[in-house]
Amino acid sequence: MARIVGGGNLVKFYTVTNTSGGWAIGATAVFECSDQINTDVSIDDTGVHTLTIEQIQDDATLNTFLETYARPSASSSGTPEDILKENGEQILGAANTGTPLLAIVKGGTQTSGETKVFAAVVTMGRSSGSWSQSGNTYNRPSLVAVSQPVEATTATIASTYFSSFMVTPEAASLNNSTRKYGAVFYN
């Protein structure tokens, strides 16, 4: 039986085109975080993953990422809240830019030597960047992302995107049925 202690201390976010007509991932990460204290991947009853990262990076790079992908713009339109219709269709509220990102999270390494990796299409939560401050403690701005359904029948993630995550990187895929909201891979 393999066990995992700790995490891999790395998450990368890439832009992604996520439509039924196509799937394309940006060539370079738009944000990379390697200052995690805690990473939580929770799954609700519908299979939607929520990624919550407590970390200590607190700089202009983080702020620019959050302003671009987690904050409303003056021209945002739509409902004031995110709505999930009973048929599963999601309408993102005005406060969420709704820009899909591919999140890849490096987990810990099993006693067998394989690394656990999680990948999902996400949108950044509006609460991302929240922090508290006190004496003798680093600020810990949180990152919150919620998985979105993969629209493509099969969405392949090339092995190059896993080069920082896996011992022997190999391509992986998400799809619009069994891996609709993300998946865990081992290598």
How far, CA to CA in Å, does 77 sit from each of 42, 47, 108, 144?
A: 29, 28, 40, 22
Low-confidence ranges of the chain (pLDDT < 50): 95-97
For the stretch 147-183, pLDDT in tens is 998 888 888 899 888 888 877 888 998 988 888 999 9
Element (H, E) at 149: none
In this prediction, residue 82 carries a pLDDT of 64
CA 146/CA 21 separation, integer angstroms: 22
Domains in the chain, number = 1
Contacts of 95 (CB under 8 A, 6+ apart): 72, 76, 80, 81, 126
DSSP secondary structure string for all residues of 71-91: S--TT--S-SS-EE-TTS-EE
Q: Residue 73 domain-assigned?
A: yes
In this prediction, residue 3 carries a pLDDT of 82
Q: Residue 128 domain-assigned?
A: yes
pTM: 0.84
CA 92/CA 83 separation, integer angstroms: 6
Domain range spanning residue 127?
Answer: 7-186
Q: Residue 2 domain-assigned?
A: no
In this prediction, residue 93 carries a pLDDT of 56
CA 141/CA 6 separation, integer angstroms: 20
DSSP-derived secondary structure letter, 68:
H
In this prediction, residue 95 carries a pLDDT of 46
